[in-house]
Chains A and B, each alone.
Chain A
Amino acid sequence: MGDLLINFLSGPVPIEAYLGVSLIMFFAGVYGFLSRKSLLMILISVELMLNAADINFIVFNRYLYPGHMEGFFFALFTIAIAACETAVAIAIIINIYRNLSSVQAGELNQMKE
């Protein structure tokens, strides 16, 4: 048992372990995006998915092209863009709430009719 554990833990972390974690994060985000009604929850789910993508960039960069920095910068810019996106989205949500007293995605259909 102990040997097995030591064997398992020996050497570097395998790439698929990272990918598995990011995969679970991503689909947790997808689940949240599809199932939750509150706009803020949708936004949280989007953040989760973005982070999962970031992890993938970083992992691929580190494992496949250790001498390059493309993945790194992609992740960096993604974080910046995520910040922008969140700022604007939250501004919109607050504005919507101010006008409609609701942040439920299903109820925002005034523009439709």
Chain B
Amino acid sequence: MQYTLLIILLPLLSFIVLGLMDSKLKPKVAGAIGVSVLGIITLLSYISAFEYFYLHKIEGVYEKLVPLHIEWIRFNEFLHIDLGILLDPISIMMLVVITTVSLMVNIYSLEYMKGEKGFQRYYAFLSLFTFSMLGLVVATNIFQMYIFWELVGVSSYLLIGFYYTKPSAVAASKKAFIVTRFADLGFLIGILFLSFYTKTFDFNILNSGDASIFASTAGVSFMGISVMSWTMGLIFIGGAGKSAMFPLHIWLPDAMEGPTPVSALIHAATMVVAGVFLVARLFPVYHTYAPDVLHVIAYIGAFTSLFAAVIACVQTDIKRVLAFSTISQIGFMMVGLGVSGIGGHEGHEGLGYMASMFHLFTHAMFKALLFLGAGSVIHAVHSNEMNHMGGLRKYMPITNITFLIACLAIAGIFPFSGFFSKDEILAATFQFSPYLGATMSFIAGLTAFYMFRLYFNIFWGKEHKHEHTPHESPFTMAFPLVFLAAVTVVAGFLPFGKLVTADRSEYIIHLDPIVATVSIIIAVLSITLAALMYMKEKETPKQLATTFSGIFKMASNRFYIDEVYIFITKKIIFNLVSTPIAWFDRNVIDATINNIGVVTQWTSHKTKRFQSGQVQQYAYVFLVGTLIIAAIMLFV
């Protein structure tokens, strides 16, 4: 399957061409290049998916294919950084997800970004992002993954700051970059630990189940926690940063300053699930050598999910609601991974892993759809605020229907895709711990509530007076919506268990009827509640807001996490660490150097007159000196 290399390299080529030509290309040409390249690689990734899932199965287990492998930097006989392509079920699945969503976003942006200054640059950055994300998922080793991980971070930074004349966008891009970069420090340290103890970067070796490579970690511990837990925990910090897990989630809501299609691609469907992908990629290592970390991941995921869902209920910026919803859903995926085991098809131990990957897939589709729908609405209304909308269903029927489908999917209503994936996560969670399962069910209810609050506020409710009548988006924007809605409708019936599992062997999906029924009931109840509150203009929401004003205000302000960060950085770190260091630098290090200069200058000013160029003065000094020396020699 050598042609998978093309999937990676074509977006890079397109980035280079678009980036170098920039404004020399006409916007239409740039868009055409972007879309056609994405079209080609989407087609290629579908072909590779079919080929892989049909042909590369040996005795019920999918092979791990390495069609390309180059030794890049060699440290010693064990440790070397390679570049290559690793194909296994999850990377193939990610290829499909990334190329599909990216293609849709590219098509959508043709209209959405039309007339923007820097249209060509936008497409160049999109290509760069696609290239780096694809490189990330097919990485054969953790170091290659890290390289592309950073590239993804950079392209995310560039795209969030696309409107670089807007101060808030610049601030948001910086915030996203710094927070994720900070998390990546943990990732890097984790990589160093891992490679130090195992003498390898390679995923295939790490995941091979060969216990000998972890032999040197046995008995090594630090502060009572085994070194493998430290290592995998640090690696997870990297994943948590990219996937916006609490408390590193603060960058994601702000990242909505970027263009909406970018939010759909990067901050909903692909890049933010990189953390989930990372954990899934190293899942055998986590499961075997750091099960405690895996449980921590589950609890962090659950907490983040709850936290974000609560905030999402009170946000009024529709993109922010979707951002918090994304955080919440990624929390679901993390929980799914955290509670999972490997294999054991009778006891459904590997259910969580499969469900998590399934949810990743379906979520990418419907969340991209939601964002693109929101983009369509914003395009029509020219505002992000909920109360500037309302009653849009009459003007935008396609957007309305597709948005509704996405909302039903995320709420977990049969037969939409979200139902299947989410219920499998719930089932796995109940199997792990009933309390955690109940929490997750509650969060699922919250999800249904806030999504339909969003939906009703946009498309129903009291009509807001618009300066000009909103209109349905043109075909290039509507097509991606329809396509993704179609995927969302049918994706639930994909035999996902046969394709992507923890041990790469077939798995029969078993839906727990009780869990499914209960969650549907919860979802329907939540939707009904939302409908009652927001379908017509009513006073109930305001009353509720005043009744629970404390928690309402806290949730509106995102539980003051940003303020805590500001407090920690500005008050504590800046004042107690940076200021003394800055003082030391300015008054000791710099001052030493400066004073050397000052003293030199002063001395030269003072001694300048000795070098007057007056011969007679020299003669005088010479004579006096001679006399003095002679006198000393004679009399002393």
Contacts and interface: CB of A to CB of B under 8 A. Distances in A.
Find out whether A and B make contact in their complex, taking CB atoms under 8 A apart as touching: yes
A33 B613 contact: no
B616 A34 contact: yes
B165 interface: no
User: What is the size category of the interface that chain A forms with chain B?
Assistant: 10 to 19
B623 A112 contact: no
B115 to A, nearest CB: 62
B614 A106 contact: yes
Contacts of A109: 613
Contacts of B619: 33-34
B614 to A, nearest CB: 6
B616 A112 contact: no
Nearest to B617: A34
Nearest to A111: B613
A80 interface: no
B620 interface: yes
B215 interface: no
Nearest to A39: B615
Contact of B620 (A34, A105, A106): A34
Contacts of A34: 616, 619-620, 623
Nearest to B611: A112
Contacts of A111: 613
Interface string A84-113: 000000000000000000000110110110
A77 B612 CA distance: 33
Nearest to B616: A34
A18 B616 CA distance: 28
Nearest to B615: A105
Contacts of B616: 33-34, 42, 105
A78 B349 CA distance: 113
A109 B612 CA distance: 9
B614 A105 contact: yes
B625 to A, nearest CB: 14
Interface in A25-52: 30, 33-34, 42
B614 A30 contact: no
A42 B614 CA distance: 12
Contacts of B612: 112
B620 A112 contact: no
A50 B573 CA distance: 78
Nearest to A27: B623
Contacts of A112: 612-613
Interface in B603-636: 612-616, 619-620, 623
B622 to A, nearest CB: 11
Contacts of A105: 614-616
Interface string A38-76: 000010000000000000000000000000000000000
A5 B133 CA distance: 120
A72 to B, nearest CB: 27
A103 to B, nearest CB: 13
A30 B623 contact: yes
A108 B612 CA distance: 11
Nearest to A37: B616
Nearest to B620: A34
Nearest to A33: B619
A26 to B, nearest CB: 11
A9 B152 CA distance: 113
Contacts of B620: 34
A38 to B, nearest CB: 11
Nearest to B623: A30
Interface string B492-520: 00000000000000000000000000000
A109 B616 CA distance: 13
Contacts of A30: 623
Contacts of A42: 615-616
Nearest to B613: A112
Contacts of B615: 42, 105
B259 to A, nearest CB: 62
A66 B526 CA distance: 134
B626 to A, nearest CB: 11
Contacts of B623: 30, 34
B630 to A, nearest CB: 14
A67 B591 CA distance: 72
A66 B84 CA distance: 102
B631 to A, nearest CB: 16
Contacts of A33: 616, 619
A30 B614 CA distance: 15
B604 to A, nearest CB: 15
A70 B484 CA distance: 115
B192 to A, nearest CB: 61
A92 to B, nearest CB: 12
A107 to B, nearest CB: 10
A108 B623 CA distance: 22
Interface string B123-158: 000000000000000000000000000000000000
A92 B615 CA distance: 15
A34 to B, nearest CB: 6
Interface in B7-24: none
Contacts of A106: 614
A48 B78 CA distance: 89
B454 to A, nearest CB: 78
Contacts of B613: 108-109, 111-112
A96 B613 CA distance: 16
A105 B612 CA distance: 12
A108 B619 CA distance: 16
B442 to A, nearest CB: 86
A105 B615 CA distance: 8
Interface of A: 30, 33-34, 42, 105-106, 108-109, 111-112
Closest 5 CB pairs of A and B: A112-B613, A34-B620, A34-B616, A109-B613, A33-B619
13 contacts: A30-B623, A33-B616, A34-B616, A34-B620, A34-B623, A42-B615, A42-B616, A105-B614, A105-B615, A105-B616, A106-B614, A108-B613, A112-B613
Interface of B: 612-616, 619-620, 623
Given A33-B619, A109-B613, A111-B613, 10 more contacts: A30-B623, A33-B616, A34-B616, A34-B619, A34-B620, A105-B614, A105-B615, A105-B616, A106-B614, A112-B612
